[in-house]
Amino acid sequence: MKRLCVVLALLSSGAVASDKRSGVEYVSPETRALQADDFANPGMLWVGGGEALWNEAVGQTKKSCASCHQDAKQTMKGVAARYPVFDEVRKRPIDLQGRINQCRVRRQKAAAFAFESEALLSLSAYIAHQSRGMPVTPPRDERLWSYIENGKELYFRRIGQIDINCASCHDARAGQRLSGNLIPEAHPTGYPIYRLEWQSAGSLQRRMRGCMTGVRAEPYAYGSPEMINLELYLMNRAAGLPIETPAVRP
């Protein structure tokens, strides 16, 4: 019962489902149009690149992702909508990028992709794209609860020289203008995104690190437990919103 209360508290602390608005609603009409047109959305270049990698036989096993998972359009549908999940091997949560690298190392016997490498972003984009339009549905797995709770603590922890937490901007001031930028609600539904400022695709972790550096804090390392827990909390907070990968952001 106590456990249940924790989860209920976690979920009710975010905005009510119907109130949630994706980041796409906070961007200019031009950027929205770019995201909506698959032939103009630069993020689709990564999706296309990911499809090519999916079918490439590599590593000591000379197996492609497709050798085991066949057609991603079927087998990967809905996967990104429920990640991060609890990993039986590591006995802690793993995100989609982590899972891709796990398959790379354990099943293909190839070297892990670096964070933010074109290959990892492309495969992530290709897999997440198969869930486009599907609602975020975090697994009901009690092994995840303490990690979600930690993610929430991090979200509400003041950090950096500016000494401010994520919620001060993304919960309390969404829709207001910080410098020239509209503050969105920080829903992680479009990742990897194509960000105009980066002139490239990038991961949710890169985006969060940007906010951390913005408040003059030492960002958490790529792949660190803190990052995964933040991802977990944000996905739980975004439950019900549709996946948009590849989203376009300013």
Partner 1 sequence: MAAPRIMVNVPKTAARGEIVEIKTLIAHKMETGHRMGLNGQRIPRDIINRFECTYNGALVFAADLFPAVSANPFIAFTTVAVASGTLKFRWVDDHGKVSTTSAKITVT
Partner 2 sequence: MRLCLPLIALLIGGEATAQSLRPYQIEADAITQSLTGKTGVAARGQAIIADRQRGLCLLCHTGAFPEPHMQGNVAPDLREVVGTLSAGQLRLRLVDIRRVNPDSPMPSFYRNDGLTRVGAPWRGKPILAADEIEDVLAYLLTLQERK
- The catalytic residues are 211
Type of residue numbered 132: R
142 to 201, contacts with partner 1 by CB under 8 A? Answer: 196, 199-200
Minimum distance, C-beta of residue 189 to ligand HEC, in the bound complex (Å): 7
User: Judged by CB under 8 A, does residue 250 bind partner 2?
Assistant: no
53 token code pair? 């990698």
230 in Cβ contact with 154 (< 8 Å): yes
Residue 20 CA, distance from chain mean position: 17
Nearest to 234 by CA among 93, 119, 131, 130: 93
What single DSSP character describes residue 142? G
Residue 23, binding choice from ligand HEC, partner 2, partner 1, none, Cβ under 5 to 8 Å by partner class: ligand HEC
C-alpha 207/C-alpha 203 separation (Å) is 6
Element (H, E) at 200: strand 200-202
Q: Which residues contact 160 (CB under 8 A, 6 or more apart)?
A: 212, 215, 216, 217, 218
Q: Which stretch binds partner 1 (CB under 8 A): 33-41, 96-104, 106-114, 219-227?
A: 33-41
160 to 199, contacts with ligand HEC by CB under 6 A? Answer: 164, 166, 168-170, 178, 181, 183-184, 186-188, 190, 193
C-alpha 31/C-alpha 26 separation (Å) is 10
Residues that bind partner 2 (CB under 8 A): 157-164, 168-169, 172-173, 176-180, 183, 212-213, 216-219
Residues that bind partner 1 (CB under 8 A): 37, 39-40, 42, 44-46, 48-49, 52-53, 56, 118-119, 122, 196, 199-200
Residues that bind ligand HEC (CB under 6 A): 23, 63, 65, 67-69, 79, 99-100, 103-104, 107-108, 123, 127, 164, 166, 168-170, 178, 181, 183-184, 186-188, 190, 193, 207-208, 211-212, 215, 230, 249-250
